[in-house]
Amino acid sequence: MRTSLLLISATLALLTGCDQGMDLDAPGAVNAEKLEQAASNDQDWLSYGRTYDEQRHSPLAKINQSNVKDLGLAWFADMDTARGQEATPIVIDGKIYITTAWSKVKAYDGVTGKLLWEYDPKVPGETAADACCDVVNRGLAAWGDRLYFGTLDGRLVALDRATGKVIWSKLTIPVGEPYTITGAPRIIDGKVIIGNGGAEMGVRGYITAYDAEDGEELWRFYTVPDQPGKNTAKHLKAAEASWKGEWWKLGGGGTVWDAMAYDPELDLLYIGVGNGSPWNQSYRSPGGGDNLYLSSIVALRPSTGEYVWHYQTTPGETWDFTATQHIILADLAIDGKQRKVLMQAPKNGFFYVLDRATGELLSANNYVATNWATGIDMKTGRPIENPDARIDQTGKPFVVTPGPGGGHNWQPMAYNPDAGLVYIPVQEASFPYFPEADWKSATIGFNTGMDFAAGAMPADANIRKASLASTKGALIAWDPVAQKERWRVKFRGPWNGGILSTAGGLVFQGNSASRFAAYNVVSGEMLWDTPTQTGIMAAPVTYSVNGEQYVAVLAGWGGSWAISPGIFSEVGGPVRNISRLLVYKLGGKAKLPPEPPLALLPIDPPVDNGTPRQLAEGGRLFGRFCGVCHGDAAYGSNLVPDLRRSGLLHDPDSWKAVVIGGMLKDKGMVSFKEAISEEQADAIRHYIIRRAHEDKALGDK
Ligand code: HEC
């Protein structure tokens, strides 16, 4: 009797303890029921992909095909950073929450645009050197009365949604390792699930679940096995045989840096797994092997993190062909049967439709041109590879289509269930993969086992013209049942924005030509288009307040494509980054301020007197350590300094102070002294002087 009374009071104490935390039934609280029923909630945008199936399709139809021409700017808000903006806003009860470059969070009134609060996690500038693809962040998750997001330097932070005050913060990565978080967390039944990036630097991928209440770690799922003998999880033991050599010393890769989706009925969490680390498989796993679970879609039990099934898109990947791209769940009628499917258009150029209960491949077809594989063998589910594209095995360079930017990258797709179409922001771009002969891992910068310097764009007008002409971007409408393109909108270049679909029969997308537009879902006809002064990469959202529908998009150019691919970064002219939240409504009358002039420094290098040895070494080191931010062949974008235009080319001491001394480290330009000597830094300066003269001779100003 006594004992049971004690038990009861202990239980009561526990319950009261819980009550002091989040009240999930309070008005306005985000809970499991709300997230599971988000499809019919037309006011809010509760999670990164809007619903657990991540369709990014809104039932709102107040703005529709007949009146979208009257869409105008309702309000805008300027950001305090001019690096890439990739976030999808979250909207709850008429308030918009966004993350920006450098992992800052901002809250606005959705009607007036008034800034309600902001939070800066003060990510150290040096963290930028651990990020493959700019200091971006893709968004937040909501649970109870809180918001959750990851920081570039690996923290998962819980904020009070009303005030922006920190409730808890947890480091999700080992101290000192080059992991970064750019993706949005997802929340299932009070578990905050977050992955990270870093496979270009040399890390081992994983995803972790934390208790939304207090940040306690609940489970961690690794995507790559540790060395044999050290693996306890069944799925990792099973994966050991698919690896060779001493991959664990190099990390192996397989980071989960973006896509997740959830099916509450099957209770399965789907994650997209990234590329190998290093890229070149002959170093990562000499002798080959499938290297599970790189480039795979994996289904997990969200309560325990237990493996359920996987499908590998690119066995033994060697081209940076991540399968981290957007995963959409839908129910499709295939061969007269209703199927629960999972769809993905990963970097490798093929569109996959899988049975999401079992992982069975239902169909696959290429959604862009591919030359690394001619198709997918439906019996084995494996790509039919072109042996020439296996640069890891031939040791010879090959121009592969698509390249590491992928046929489709992180930019979210959308699925319109009425039209039965998936809208994919695609790009057509090839890349010359040059396997590096005597590659050694470095403690700073990219570790890919590829020689970017050897593949750098030559200063040859004809080659440049031909390469530019074959590099394209488009919005395509894809029929996932027929595995066929239905329509296409062409853009002047790659790297266009993510997609929003609405029941108003509209597809919204921003683009690299600094426009924001709406298209007819069925025909692709452009129905509305407005100038934005800046390139747009992020996906728009829509919400309603007091019966009025709004469309919002976080504008601002950047990301890997904008900073690394040299002459391709701005096909057709410089793309601006004027980072701003743009919000539209019917009859909106707000006006953007006049566009500031683009003030580019002239290309004005000093005398070109580098020795052949300096030029060769400078070029090699630039390709290895600098090009990922300052552009292939030193052809920079206007987002990170274009070194051909730098005044420091004339000033060897200041050059040294930046490159070796780390003078600009707080702004994302770290010291490279652990990898290169002072003489080598100066050799890079001479190489860039040479490149500046070459490009000036080709007509660049
Ligand atoms: C992770 C990205 C990144 C990498 C890699 C990188 N840089 Fe930078 N660099 C930057 C950024 C960002 C700035 C601008 C900092 C600022 O706002 O002043 C910069 C600025 C500079 C500047 C100053 C230019 C000027 O005119 O103000 C020099 C010189 C420079 N970098 C040289 C190099 C060299 C040489 C390498 C390779 C050894 C390199 N950088 C690698 C991001 C990078």
Residues written for the chain: 701
Q: Is the CB of 364 under 6 A from ligand 1?
A: no
Ligand 1 contacts CB of residue 648 (under 6 A): yes
Instruction: Judge if the beta carbon of residue 672 lies within 6 A of ligand 1.
Output: yes
pLDDT tens digits, 368-410 = 999 999 999 999 999 999 999 999 999 999 999 999 999 999 9
If we measure between CA atoms, which residue out of 699, 228, 686, 136 comes closest to residue 464?
699
Going by alpha carbons, the residue nearest to atom 32 of ligand 1 is 659
Residue 12 has pLDDT above 80, yes or no: no
Of 368, 365, 491, nearest to 430 by C-alpha is 368
Domain boundaries 199-409, CATH class: mainly beta
Give the position, in ligand 1's atom list, of the atom nearest the Cα of 655. Answer: 29
Please give the distance, rounded to the nearest whole angstrom, from the Cα atom of residue 669 to the centre of ligand 1. 5
Q: Which residue has the higher pLDDT, 572 or 375?
A: 375
Fold match flag (53-125+132-168+470-596 vs 199-409): yes
Task: Tell me how far the alpha carbon of residue 129 lies from the centroid of ligand 1, in angstroms.
Answer: 10
Q: How far is the CA of 390 from the centre of ligand 1 (A)?
A: 33
Q: Pick 612-697's CATH classification: 1.20.58.220, 1.10.760.10, 3.50.50.60, 1.20.58.340.
A: 1.10.760.10
575 CB within 6 A, ligand 1:
no
Q: Is the CB of 628 under 6 A from ligand 1?
A: yes
Where do the structural domains in the chain lie, given as residue ranges?
53-125+132-168+470-596, 199-409, 612-697
The closest alpha carbon to 294, from 180, 182, 201, 204, belongs to 204
Q: What is the mean pLDDT of residues 232-259?
A: 97
Residue 526: CB atoms within 10 A of its CB come to 12
**Residue 320 annotated in active site:** yes
Architecture of domain 53-125+132-168+470-596: 8 Propeller (2.140)
89: preceding bond cis by omega (within 30 degrees)? no
Q: Is 664 in the pocket of ligand 1 (CB under 6 A)?
A: yes
Average pLDDT, the chain: 95
pLDDT tens-place string over residues 56-111? 999 999 999 999 999 999 999 999 999 999 999 999 999 999 999 999 999 999 99
**Distance of CA 103 from the midpoint of ligand 1 (Å):** 20
pLDDT of residue 565: 87
Q: Which atom of ligand 1 is nearest to the CA of 676?
A: 38
**Residue 627 Cα, ligand 1 centroid: separation in angstroms?**
10
Q: Give the model confidence (pLDDT) of 157-197 as tens digits.
A: 999 999 999 999 999 999 999 999 999 999 999 999 999 99
Q: What is the pLDDT of residue 10?
A: 44
Does the pTM of the predicted model rise above 0.85? yes
Count CA within 13 A, CB hemisphere, residue 166. Answer: 14
| Annotated active-site residue in 320, 392, 451, 642 | 320
Q: Is 406 left (phi over 0), alpha (psi -120 to 50) or beta?
A: left
**Tokens (6 digits) for 590:** 């707000």
Ligand 1 contacts CB of residue 129 (under 6 A):
yes
